[in-house]
């Protein structure tokens, strides 16, 4: 077999592997197939003591009418804890205090949990285009926002 | 250029495109690279008028201490609406009534929204191993459960 031929065959095998993989025949398939597709819709922005929920502008139509309400429930992602190790933790000492007896994460608001969703009920200060100013939120600056509810 | 040479070059170009794509230089790059990994931790089960949150047994340790509380907040996935079309809807007539003026989904509890998360506060009847009986929930039987909070 000459060099060019070998190159062609190697390329063909690599490409086939890629197409099979892209069709779902990959390792980790079972877990992947159960995964739900969650996408950030915006971010938490903290600036000089003020807190904003800044949505991707394409989601601005989803805020229609929110200005008539006093509060909004913000769902965000504890992105700083997004490691397999932290997501495997199922029991914590509430409020990080070792004197508090261990409790299951599902009986707490711990930011360490299998799915890193935080829920905060916030008072609305203003709604303008794709930006909501709220009175405050537990989330860090830059946290991905995943949903808002009245 | 002979045939083999052309094959080699075509393969090289396709492979380069693949490697660039896998490095993130693709059309849908922004969206895919931002995706957050969300996995079901259990399911809603309705049976003869009773409602159960049945967790995957591996998550049972996460329920430690929940039996001392009267209520639990259940986060679940509106899986029947998990289509690109429904997830693109940003405004709805509240409660599906066309007489209600259009409102942004983020100012409602609509089960149609970009990220299909439902939040229900439920009274706890009992907690046993990996199963919680609750008084009732808006979710359909079989809905994936993604988080629980006190």
Q: Which residue has the higher pLDDT, B29 or B21?
A: B21
Euclidean distance between the first and the last CA atom of chain A, given in angstroms as a whole number: 68
**Confidence label for B132 from pLDDT (cuts 50, 70 and 90):** very high
pLDDT at B30: 44
pLDDT at A7: 67
Picking from B41, B103, B119, the nearest residue to A115 by CB comes out as B41
pLDDT at A4: 61
Q: Which residue has the higher pLDDT, A132 or B25?
A: A132
pLDDT at B81: 97
For residue A113, is pLDDT > 90? yes
% pLDDT > 90, chain A: 75
Residues B67-110: tens digit of each pLDDT: 999 999 999 999 999 999 999 999 999 999 999 999 999 999 99
Q: In angstroms, rounded to a whole number, what is the distance separating the alpha carbons of residues B7 and A11?
A: 9
β-pairing verdict for A103-104 and B91-92: unpaired
Q: Look-up: residue for tokens 């997004």?
A: A82
Q: In angstroms, rounded to a whole number, what is the distance separating the alpha carbons of residues B74 and B144?
A: 11
Tell me if residue B48 falls in helix, strand or coil. Answer: coil
Say yes or no for a CB contact (<8 Å) between A149 and B109: yes
For residue A136, is pLDDT > 60? yes
pLDDT at A23: 45
What mean pLDDT, rounded, does chain A reach? 88
Q: Which residue has the higher pLDDT, A117 or B17?
A: A117
pTM of the model: 0.79
CB A81 within 8 A of CB A144: no
The residue of A106, A124, A144 whose CB has the most chain B CBs within 10 angstroms, and thus the best one to mutate to test that interface, is A106
Q: In angstroms, rounded to a whole number, what is the distance separating the alpha carbons of residues B73 and B122?
A: 6
Picking from B40, B102, B149, the nearest residue to A64 by CB comes out as B102
pLDDT at B26: 40
């Amino acid at each position: 077999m000459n060099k060019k031929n070998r190159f062609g065959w190697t390329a063909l095998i690599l490409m086939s592997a890629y197409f099979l993989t892209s069709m779902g025949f990959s390792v980790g398939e079972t877990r992947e197939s159960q995964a739900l597709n969650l996408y950030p819709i915006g971010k938490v922005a903290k600036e000089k003591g003020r807190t904003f929920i800044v949505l991707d502008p394409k989601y601005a139509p989803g805020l229609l009418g929110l200005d008539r309400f006093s509060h909004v429930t913000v769902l965000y992602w504890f992105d700083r804890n997004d490691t397999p190790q932290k997501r495997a933790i199922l029991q914590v000492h509430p409020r990080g205090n070792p004197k508090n007896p261990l409790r299951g994460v599902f009986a707490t608001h711990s930011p360490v949990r299998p799915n890193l969703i935080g829920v905060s009920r916030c008072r609305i200060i203003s709604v303008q285009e794709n930006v909501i100013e709220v009175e405050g939120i537990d989330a860090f600056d830059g946290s991905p926002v995943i949903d808002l509810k009245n």
